Structure 1
């Protein structure tokens, strides 16, 4: 290709397209049609110049012109902050609300399992003895349990807690795709650990200490893990029963919604980590630190059951906008 001849032949098109792009907000109907036509033609010309491998400056100029013309034709995207606001006011709470019965069921099952273990340890001396020696239990009750929350600086402890909780939530969510079983295991393990701690503390007459240190951060933290687990269970159940949709499509839709929940829970777990790192062990007024935890939990539930319910009723599913209903397959 003779690049100078090519440029001379199409220069008027490029100049006209630049004019239309600059005036894109004041174009008449015929000018809009002209803009679309020129955008398509200049895009083809850009491909030809790139294929020729000549004049990088011209390629750069045409690339910028085509990009601006594309924005004028299809419309500029909303600013990123609007996408972020939409995510936290509609997408995330809508998915959490839509799947509420899954995570409410996970909550009830796990808490019930933990309560059963706690009652067993608190009422059966032989079961308690199997947990540890009297010296080990005494050290745990009188020192280790409470010291866990203050043995590290608050900020670094909050960061570590956030990381650990995010990992637990990620396991509960993603592993559910394996027919729910790994998520059930994660819930059972967390329930067993919670129940064992409660049983040891209550058996030693320190139930008030246990509740005073668990409730501030545990309400929101466990709710986040339960939400993740509920979404994971839904993923696994979708494979078992896609609900009248093609299995691949149903799973793809639920996975995209699950990713929205995963992103939203990062912030929820960050808040619970801050409470655990900066409130649980450092606020010495029991009613105040429990009150902080209760308020945080109430705000989250209100958020899901107000904004989430509204967005869900308006048709928000948490799926990617414009996602294809089907994927091409080989013949």
Structure 2
């Protein structure tokens, strides 16, 4: 390749591309011209690199092509901005907009759980029938408390996080079927209620609530949010609302649910750390409960303040219009 002749032949195109890149606004014709010149410049750069790799010319064309590519495709936001927007807008508004669902789940779960605790706690003879007496005494006197300190804290935190994440995932992503979510919730409410009732019946209410409260407030709230978001998906399929097809309603609700799932990974990690390091610690019961209440109140404040602000600004927790894909016209 005769490099001087090649430069002389295409110099005018490169200069014209530079002129267009310096303009703040382009007409439709100029935009088409910019795209065409960008494609040619990219071809020229490839040819120079493969046939006559002059460092100065390669550097000039590389900068020109990079500027043109940014002008044609647009610049993307830095990854840290996307990350920050997720935690300040996307996740809190998705949880906030689903609050009727997860608050309803929390209310029903609490009613069943505390009802069982009160029933078994005031009827010790029924609590004693839940299992063999030696097994009940072993649970009350040793197993319940030892569960939180049986393994090294870091291993226990990872185990708790994994189990809770699986439970939340089942509630969230089986929501379209509704019944699996209800089954998981009922099973867990019966389990917590029965164990709590036995502890209360045998005079160990202080141990039960002292150990389960620090991490349970945040942990169960995360499960309630997942279950509520899952049931919301199922209801979107049953009753999509006016102006939406079932497919559209399901897609919109599922996209918001994905944001909730990603955010709950962090929430469950925090509750796992509390369960592994705070619950079995030697801190006074009041201090451990205060830590749990602070984490729970912090999460609710975070969702209400940032979620409500984002909702008032028109955010829905859904993807931007350009990222949702095309929709077929419907009548």
TM range (shorter): 0.7 to 0.9
Within 2, Cα distance between the matches of 1:106 and 1:326? 34
List per-residue Cα deviations over 1:45-76 (Å, max 9, x = no partner): 758999x9x95999x99898555423124532
Structure 1 residues 223-232 or 35-44, which shifts more? 35-44
Find the counterpart in structure 2 of residue 185 from structure 1.
Answer: 183
List per-residue Cα deviations over 1:274-313 (Å, max 9, x = no partner): 1011100014300000000000101111111111111111
Within 2, Cα distance between the matches of 1:57 and 1:243? 63
List per-residue Cα deviations over 1:102-139 (Å, max 9, x = no partner): 00000011111112222333234453233221111111
Question: Which secondary structure does the structure 2 equivalent of 1:196 belong to?
Answer: helix
Within 2, Cα distance between the matches of 1:81 and 1:264? 16
> Within 5 A, what are the aligned runs for 1:130-141?
130-141=129-140
Gaps of at least 5 residues in structure 1 are: none
Number of equivalences: 320
List per-residue Cα deviations over 1:212-260 (Å, max 9, x = no partner): 0000000000000000100000000000000111111111111111001
TM-score by length of 1: 0.85
The alpha-carbon deviation at position 13 of structure 1 amounts to 2.4
List per-residue Cα deviations over 1:128-161 (Å, max 9, x = no partner): 2332211111111111111111111111211111
Find the counterpart in structure 2 of residue 92 from structure 1.
Answer: 91
Q: Which runs of 4+ in 1 moved over 3 A?
A: 4-12, 14-17, 26-36, 44-50, 54-58, 60-68, 123-127, 323-326
Find the counterpart in structure 2 of residue 197 from structure 1.
Answer: 195
- Seen in structure 2, the aligned counterparts of structure 1 residues 194 and 31 have a Cα distance that, compared at 3 Å, is same
Within 1, Cα distance between the matches of 2:317 and 2:32? 33
Q: Is residue 267 from structure 1 mapped to residue 263 from structure 2 by the alignment?
A: no
The alpha-carbon deviation at position 27 of structure 1 amounts to 3.4
Structure 1 residues 150-159 or 95-104, which shifts more? 150-159
Within 1, Cα distance between the matches of 2:195 and 2:285? 19
Find the counterpart in structure 2 of residue 320 from structure 1.
Answer: 319
- Tell me which of 232, 235, 245 is aligned to 1:234: 232
The alpha-carbon deviation at position 327 of structure 1 amounts to 2.6
